Structure 1
Amino acid sequence: MSSIDLSSLLRLQLPRGGIDFSSFSSLCASAARLLPDKSLPVAVAAVAGYLVICNAVRFRSINRLKKKLGYTDRRSLSRMTGDDAQTIMRHMILEEFPTMSELGLQFALFKTYGIETISKLLVATKNLADKENSSKRYEDTSIIFTEFMTSMPTSSRHMQAVARINYLHAPYIASGKILNEDLLYTLAVSAIEPARFIGLNEWRATTEMERCAIGTFWKSLGDAMGIKYEGHLARAGQWADGLEFHEDISAWAREYEMEHLRPADTNVAASRELVRLMNWHVPGFLKPFAQDALVVLMGDRVRDAFRFEEPGILPAAIIYTTLALRRFALRFFCLPRLRPLKAFSDEDPTTGRIQHYYYLVHPWYNPSTLWSRWGPEALFRRLSGGFAPGEKSHMPEGFLWNEIGPKAQVGKGSAEMDVHVERMKGLQRGKCPFSGAA
């Protein structure tokens, strides 16, 4: 059995443009001649073949979408419609980057807790900052955001989700407890943080088309929520496309944070409750590390606003190394998702109820099936002190839109929501929001 010629092996080089099928056979043949065991070439061929397939199909989905929609350069982005932006957003959230999209949105929620006018209201209303109500309100918030981020802007479900959040906000806006700046900042971080988390931690960076879709979508949603941009964003009413809107709202958010993202007692109360929910299933002895991990990801300014102690070097090193390894593995060793995730059931044709397939702590609106109650995920949740679907109080039959929100508002607001829906129909939400936008 001859030994491997190490110098010859080191001279094997991959093509500059990445692995392709034309180079695959020569690569395997060269490697096989150097290997001592005749059975090893089969293993080498299998591994190399898998890597070739991963490389060949990893970008296929985004390339197909770009070709289908026709957004090939910056000039073409100025005609992006709300419908196309939604299609691109759905592709990002449910196919390409589900993990970092969700994590980014969670940290966007974190950031809003660092604004005293927002956290003060949350604590006062006991919605997202109280142990009794926080879990349901978290799930309700997640449902509203996921629905209007993944359904077409002209669909009934999208408009119902937006109408519900408008209804829930309306009395606080009327009383001056929710300011336009609060809504604008929430809109800003919802656009900024998922894109930032994807850019830092995912297997590829977002494309110009995707970044434009983010700006286009959130501009359109801000219009539907009645958020005012004049006097806040530099080019209000003059944006050519979603990229310009995203640039302006990002610049405004940075300036706003310099003045308003600062320590306050209500920030602390709200943030500790969200940390408790996010670390619910972490074993007790690991909870300090899990909290440090969250603090590492939230950054210095947010950490100071919540009065968390600065984490040590070890947690930071572990978190960043883990994220880097994940990014590398996804890019080179993982095939793309075969089908998009499904967050919701179809609307029941008889009752109109919708079931939600994901949850953080309590399984609100999750269907009760043998798998959901006793499958691997359910067993893990039970063993870690969590909950599996099935309890009647968690409404496994699903929700109606007028049941989303604080307990005092359950079953209320249908007429007011209908008014919001009719107003949105007049906004032509599937069109380009920058054609005469204000």
Structure 2
Amino acid sequence: MSSNQPNTATVLVDSIISLIPGSLRALPTSIVLLTLFLGYLTLVQLLRWRRYNAVHQQYQRKFDKGELTPDDAQKIMQLASAWDMPFAFGAGYGVGILRTFSIPTVSKLFYATKEMATVEKVVRRYADTEILLTTASFCPLSGFHDISLKTDISTPAQDPRTNIAIARINYLHGKYKISNDDYLFTLYGFMSGPLNMIDRYGWRALSPLERAAVFIFWAELGRKMGIQDIPATMEELATWCQAYEEKHMVPTKINNIIGNVTLWDNVVGVPERFGLRRLVERLVICLMDDRMREAFMWEAQPQYMHLLAKGLMYLSMFMQRWLLLPRSEPLCGLDASLPGVEAFGKRFRPTIFRWEPWYKPESSGLGYLMDVLLVKLGHHAGVPGKRFKSEGYRLEELGPERYEQVGHEEVFREAERIQGCPIPSYYFRR
């Protein structure tokens, strides 16, 4: 091969320069590329705050008047959770959920369900939980994408998915004796986890409007779950939970078992080669405070691991804030837009898949080859198929396999009660 053949970088630069108007091509290449780079950075900043400003312009006045509704709060919360900082928000949820298992009464209850007997039970349990909570977070709380369409209590919901998901959670929780205090502490984990993570590692701070929205949304969801004595403000709930932690968050062997299972489920998709999975486990532990870590009986990580964790998170913050264009599509794990009437009667599928690809459709051709490659790389445990219910899911069927075909009518009645109107008949079509 000739040594004079241009390399790929040279060809790319020449291609970019060819797109530049002739009057600018006389400038040195370095000046042209620097100008393009600065133009890109300017574009990032022009677009970065556009959605933020639009949301605040729409809801700030209602917030100032104390008139935000739970549906408003849900939409406001999605600004950070699906558009601006989904990874920080998701990591916060993960730490918040894990924190609930540092309370022995919670971890002991989960241990008693025997839903950790096999790998498939563990992964499916977390996959189903994620689907139920994601549905509740992103499909409309009221059951209406346009609340003006709800003229009275006899008007069927436009989109009953959130309330069916909550009703299914209530049905499954009803099988066990869970104290209201443990419910309250768990509810606070869903609020405080993302808030704390973004306070530390978000590329921007959450506004007072957004922080209030997180509380309003989760408090409403808690009421739909039947949780009693939810304080009127985030500050009151935080004070109560702090006292609860000090009294009840203590190390136990069952905490350690459940913590290890939960941590494993969150990192299992990371390859074990070169110690990568163990490294990620240690980095996750660095995101916890000492009381939580000690409750799981995990060793303290050395200072260099904490520095590495912070460095990676700060690098992510910097890139999102200054170098990356904002998302053009939300990242939320499912399609929360209003489905067509026919789609409601069919099975649903998530848009993000775990290590075991539950509910992922079977593919062919290049798609199948990609699935095989993901298995080879250790990112998936197997290719999609009947084993992982590739036909999709129904919300009323999610949960442990032994409850899959029971409780549907109870779930539908509960969903209609908490949303205050009927489920549309077309949801029941098969």
Structure 2 residue aligned with 1:273: 261
Deviation at 1:86, TM superposition (A): 1.3
Structure 2 residue aligned with 1:374: 369
8 A contact 1:373–1:388 mirrored in 2: no
Structure 2 residue aligned with 1:75: 64
Candidates 416, 419, 422, aligned match of 1:425? 419
TM-score normalised by L of structure 1: 0.80
Deviation at 1:150, TM superposition (A): 0.8
Distance in 2 (CA, whole Å) between partners of 1:183 and 1:299 is 21
User: Deviations for 1:9-64, whole angstroms, at most 9, x for unmatched residues?
Assistant: xxxxxxxxxxxxxxxxxxxxxxx9xxxx8332211211111111111211111101
Structure 1 residue aligned with 2:112: 124
Deviation at 1:168, TM superposition (A): 0.4
Deviation at 1:317, TM superposition (A): 1.1
Structure 1 residue aligned with 2:173: 169
Structure 2 residue aligned with 1:251: 239
Structure 1 residue aligned with 2:328: 338
Structure 2 residue aligned with 1:102: 90
**Cα pair distance change 1:358/1:222, threshold 3 Å:** same
Distance in 2 (CA, whole Å) between partners of 1:325 and 1:157 is 37
Identity of aligned residues (%): 29
Alignment of 1:314-353 (within 5 A): 314-341=304-331, 343-345=333-335, 346=339, 349=343, 351-353=345-347
Deviation at 1:129, TM superposition (A): 7.1
Distance in 1 (CA, whole Å) between partners of 2:362 and 2:118 is 27
Q: Does 1:64 align with 2:54?
A: yes
Candidates 100, 107, 123, aligned match of 1:135? 123
Distance in 2 (CA, whole Å) between partners of 1:266 and 1:300 is 18
Structure 2 residue aligned with 1:224: 224
Aligned residues: 375
Alignment of 1:177-192 (within 5 A): 177-192=177-192
> Partner of 2:277: helix, strand, or coil?
helix
User: Deviations for 1:99-158, whole angstroms, at most 9, x for unmatched residues?
Assistant: 112111111111011011110011111225753411100001101111101111122000
Which consecutive unaligned segments of at least 5 residues does structure 1 have?
1-31, 240-244, 429-438
**Cα pair distance change 1:84/1:301, threshold 3 Å:** same
Over aligned residues, Cα RMSD in angstroms?
Answer: 2.4
8 A contact 1:191–1:215 mirrored in 2: yes
Structure 1 residue aligned with 2:377: 383
The residue type equivalent to 2:113 in the other structure is T
Distance in 2 (CA, whole Å) between partners of 1:41 and 1:72 is 46
User: Deviations for 1:221-278, whole angstroms, at most 9, x for unmatched residues?
Assistant: 111011011xxx6xx4xx4xxxxx2222222211111111110111011011112222
Structure 2 residue aligned with 1:21: none
**Cα pair distance change 1:423/1:247, threshold 3 Å:** same
Distance in 1 (CA, whole Å) between partners of 2:43 and 2:344 is 45
Deviation at 1:425, TM superposition (A): 2.6
Deviation at 1:373, TM superposition (A): 3.9
For structure 1, which segment, 37-46 or 258-267, has the greater mean C-alpha deviation from structure 2 after superposition? 37-46
Deviation at 1:372, TM superposition (A): 5.3
Distance in 2 (CA, whole Å) between partners of 1:372 and 1:212 is 43
**Cα pair distance change 1:286/1:350, threshold 3 Å:** closer
User: Deviations for 1:334-356, whole angstroms, at most 9, x for unmatched residues?
Assistant: 11011223522557637431111
Structure 2 residue aligned with 1:432: none
The residue type equivalent to 1:324 in the other structure is Y
**Cα pair distance change 1:65/1:326, threshold 3 Å:** same
8 A contact 1:382–1:388 mirrored in 2: no
Distance in 1 (CA, whole Å) between partners of 2:224 and 2:133 is 14
**Cα pair distance change 1:350/1:305, threshold 3 Å:** closer
Distance in 1 (CA, whole Å) between partners of 2:267 and 2:120 is 17
Q: Does 1:407 align with 2:401?
A: yes
> Partner of 1:341: helix, strand, or coil?
coil
Which consecutive unaligned segments of at least 5 residues does structure 2 have?
1-23, 144-159, 423-430
**Cα pair distance change 1:266/1:427, threshold 3 Å:** farther
Structure 1 residue aligned with 2:215: 215
